[in-house]
């Protein structure tokens, strides 16, 4: 039967700090086969068998289980089940362990108790950047803001030299597709998994391939000029000694994609032990609850009466503990698990710390390689204006006879600040690119201005909204002449919302076409995304951010402010757009 096995080169790699005992091995195998169909036998069940490596370099030890498993059919309301066949193979090469599996139950806890996972840092150190062609990379930004871009992916024949590494220190690479000497392999930081494209291999060939991977892992390359630009993995204990968690995000999009959209049945266990199906109303409420960012109190509880929960530090991970999540269950690979266990298994909690250079993501801690040294450059994008500080509302008050915005509102302040521009349009309401669009030829520039009023504070919620508007419209800043002329004829010729305020605040629309031709051809042209925030004070932010630089404890909302401003700056700069924030002095 062993000779009939044909397996893909798809494995997770571990080390055993001490020899893997039979009891430890059985713990892993039992966890994996926990979803075996009841009253069935193993098709293969071998423990610590030995075989010679095909290259004659020694022997390897392997353990294997192959078994049937069932999972419910969701597309019809009946007791139908699919029967699938699962396997787990544990290959031992001394202290080096490779595990290959398919359709098994979770082995995460058992592996954590008995083995040490090979980190993605070690996996990527197994090859030289110079020898590898990085064909695809997925990055997680070090932010949990719900108004910032959290993740992005890039793909090319070779990303080296094409992908800007500006501010890459705040990006966590979690998936790679690389090509080395004609062989394509993918590496997943989330699972420590390596997949190498090839034909299916025999068990002996897989064992030899695993040995070759360990040889590369144990002899790391020092040529890491590309990957060294990104955030570095760091030990959780080291982070915990220096900082405490400040806010948590559950990666709800994964739950929506994998469970809600696939209509996987979710059941709620009542106090009397009854299991009831979650209604659509319940599912909507659950989704709304899980998509929020929650601050973490000093006692590690979530600061939310609507979602009572807490976090717990384990040996090398952080768990989310919630009675609500424990009472919701689903079936995965034929086994009932709670939603809390599902979130833990798939590493769906992202946590930021009081020290903003740290983030917990996909079960690992990362350190921003740029660190707090970025704070001065972020403060530089804040431009204080006295006109902004006197604002008492966003748009002021107006009626059918109004021809101007109030002087003491943010819109009025913007028009005063930009009164020397060639063109200024009010694009607010409807299909808007920004609240104001400014064109200037003396300092050749295109400015999209997004306004938001609020009482002076360090609250992150107001900034969430305006940053989201700014980032959403970055692509529109590269408009064509025809697009802008269409805006003029369809919108800028009109009056603003039941008033006599012209939407063309400066300039003559008759000359707009020639002006845009000249502006877009000017090699000095720069594009600016401007956030006008009357609730922000540069002196206040300087004071709070300097506390971060000194290593002092700051509230979670201050940390979030730093992340949000940083995310805005990086999103703009990646598109060759200048980020600016108008604020109070």
Which of 49, 44, 55 has the alpha carbon at shortest distance from 205? 55
Residue 90: per-residue pLDDT: 96
> How many angstroms separate the CA atoms of 472 and 68, rounded?
48
Indicate the range of 58-62, 86-90, 565-569 predicted with least confidence: 565-569
Residue 211: per-residue pLDDT: 94
**pLDDT tens, 458-509?**
777 778 888 888 988 999 999 999 999 999 989 988 898 888 999 999 988 7
Strand partners, 438: 424, 447
Residue 165: per-residue pLDDT: 62
pLDDT band, very low/low/confident/very high, at 531 (cuts 50, 70, 90): very high
Residue 147 has pLDDT above 60, yes or no: no
> How many angstroms separate the CA atoms of 268 and 285, rounded?
13
Residue 164 has pLDDT above 70, yes or no: no
Average pLDDT over residues 224-228: 74
The percentage of residues in the chain with a pLDDT greater than 90, rounded to a whole number, is: 41
pLDDT band, very low/low/confident/very high, at 515 (cuts 50, 70, 90): very high
pLDDT band, very low/low/confident/very high, at 145 (cuts 50, 70, 90): low
Angle between helix axes 461-472 and 556-574 (nearest 10 degrees) is: 10
Indicate the range of 159-173, 252-266, 388-402 predicted with least confidence: 159-173
- Output DSSP code: residue 167: T
> How many angstroms separate the CA atoms of 20 and 4, rounded?
27
Six token digits for residue 437: 């669009």
Residue 189 has pLDDT above 80, yes or no: no
> How many angstroms separate the CA atoms of 435 and 507, rounded?
17
Six token digits for residue 364: 């690992």
Residue 454: per-residue pLDDT: 86
Residue 478: per-residue pLDDT: 93
> How many angstroms separate the CA atoms of 504 and 390, rounded?
24
Residue 49: per-residue pLDDT: 95
- Output DSSP code: residue 231: P
Higher pLDDT, 81 or 6: 6
Mean pLDDT for the chain overall: 87
Average pLDDT over residues 414-421: 93
CB 159 within 8 A of CB 135: yes
Residue 364: per-residue pLDDT: 85
CB 163 within 8 A of CB 225: no
Indicate the range of 293-307, 498-512, 552-566 predicted with least confidence: 552-566
CA distances from 560 to 144, 146, 304, 360 (A): 8, 10, 17, 15
Alpha helical stretches, state H, 356-436: 375-380, 386-389, 410-417
Residue 337 has pLDDT above 60, yes or no: yes
CB 55 within 8 A of CB 208: yes
> How many angstroms separate the CA atoms of 472 and 580, rounded?
16
Residue 149: per-residue pLDDT: 65
Residue 401 has pLDDT above 60, yes or no: yes
- Output DSSP code: residue 488: I
The percentage of residues in the chain with a pLDDT greater than 70, rounded to a whole number, is: 96
Residue 369, φ and ψ in degrees, nearest 5:
-70, -20
**pLDDT tens, 169-186?**
778 888 889 998 888 999
> How many angstroms separate the CA atoms of 64 and 429, rounded?
63
Which of 137, 123, 138 has the alpha carbon at shortest distance from 195? 123
Six token digits for residue 481: 């002449």
Residue 190: per-residue pLDDT: 64
* pTM recorded for the entire structure: 0.58
**pLDDT tens, 426-457?**
999 888 999 999 999 999 999 999 999 988 88
Q: Tell me the CA end-to-end span of the chain in Å, nearest whole number.
A: 76
């Amino acid at each position: 039967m062993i000779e009939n096995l044909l397996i893909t080169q798809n494995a997770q790699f571990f080390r055993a700090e001490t020899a893997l005992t039979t009891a430890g091995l059985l713990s892993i195998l039992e966890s994996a086969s926990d979803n075996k169909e009841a009253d069935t036998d193993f098709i293969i069940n071998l423990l610590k068998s030995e075989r010679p490596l095909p290259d004659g370099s020694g022997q390897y030890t392997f353990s294997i289980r192959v078994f049937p498993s069932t999972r419910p059919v969701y597309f019809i309301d009946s007791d139908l089940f699919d029967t699938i066949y699962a396997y787990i193979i544990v290959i031992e090469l001394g202290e080096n362990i490779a595990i290959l599996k398919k359709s098994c139950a979770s082995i995460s806890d058992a592996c954590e108790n008995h083995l040490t996972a090979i980190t993605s840092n070690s996996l990527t150190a197994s090859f030289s950047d110079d020898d590898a062609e990085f064909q695809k990379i997925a990055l997680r930004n070090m932010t949990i803001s719900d108004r910032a871009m959290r993740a992005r992916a890039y793909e090319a024949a070779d990303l080296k030299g094409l992908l800007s590494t500006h501010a890459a220190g705040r990006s966590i690479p979690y998936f790679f597709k690389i090509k080395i000497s004609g062989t394509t392999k993918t590496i997943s930081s989330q699972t420590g998994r390596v997949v190498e494209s090839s034909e299916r291999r025999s068990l002996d060939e897989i064992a030899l391939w695993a040995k070759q991977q360990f040889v590369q892992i144990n002899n790391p390359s020092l040529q890491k000029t590309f990957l060294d630009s990104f955030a570095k993995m760091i030990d959780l204990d080291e982070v915990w000694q220096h900082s405490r968690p400040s806010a948590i995000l559950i990666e709800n999009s994964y739950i929506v994609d994998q469970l809600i959209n696939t209509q996987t049945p979710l059941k709620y266990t009542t106090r009397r032990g009854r299991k009831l199906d979650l209604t659509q109303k319940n599912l909507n409420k659950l989704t709304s609850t899980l998509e929020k960012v929650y601050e973490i109190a000093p006692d590690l509880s979530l600061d939310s009466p609507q979602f009572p929960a807490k976090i717990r530090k384990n040996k090398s991970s952080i768990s989310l503990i919630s009675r609500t999540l424990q009472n919701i269950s689903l079936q995965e690979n034929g086994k009932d698990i709670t939603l809390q266990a599902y979130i833990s298994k798939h590493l769906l909690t992202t946590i930021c710390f009081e020290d903003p250079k740290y983030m917990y993501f996909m079960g690992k801690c990362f350190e921003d390689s740029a660190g707090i040294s970025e704070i001065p450059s972020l403060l530089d994008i804040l431009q204080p204006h006295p006109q902004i500080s006197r604002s008492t509302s966003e748009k002021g008050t107006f009626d059918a006879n109004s021809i101007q915005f109030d002087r003491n509102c943010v819109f009025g302040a913007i028009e005063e600040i930009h009164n020397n521009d060639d063109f200024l349009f009010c694009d607010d309401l409807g299909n808007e690119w920004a609240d104001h669009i400014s064109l200037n030829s003396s300092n050749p520039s295109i400015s999209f201005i997004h306004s938001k009023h609020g009482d002076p504070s360090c609250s992150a919620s107001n900034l969430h909204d305006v940053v989201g508007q700014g980032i959403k419209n970055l692509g529109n800043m590269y408009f064509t002449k025809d697009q802008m002329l269409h805006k003029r004829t369809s919108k800028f010729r009109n009056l603003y919302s039941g008033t006599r305020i012209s939407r063309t605040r400066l300039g003559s629309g008759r000359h707009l076409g020639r002006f845009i031709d000249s502006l877009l051809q000017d090699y000095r042209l720069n594009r600016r995304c401007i956030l006008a925030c009357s609730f922000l004070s540069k002196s206040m932010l300087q004071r709070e951010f300097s506390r971060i630089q000194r290593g002092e404890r700051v509230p979670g909302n201050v940390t979030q402010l730093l992340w949000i401003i940083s995310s805005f700056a990086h999103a703009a700069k990646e598109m060759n757009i200048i980020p600016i924030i108008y604020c109070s002095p």
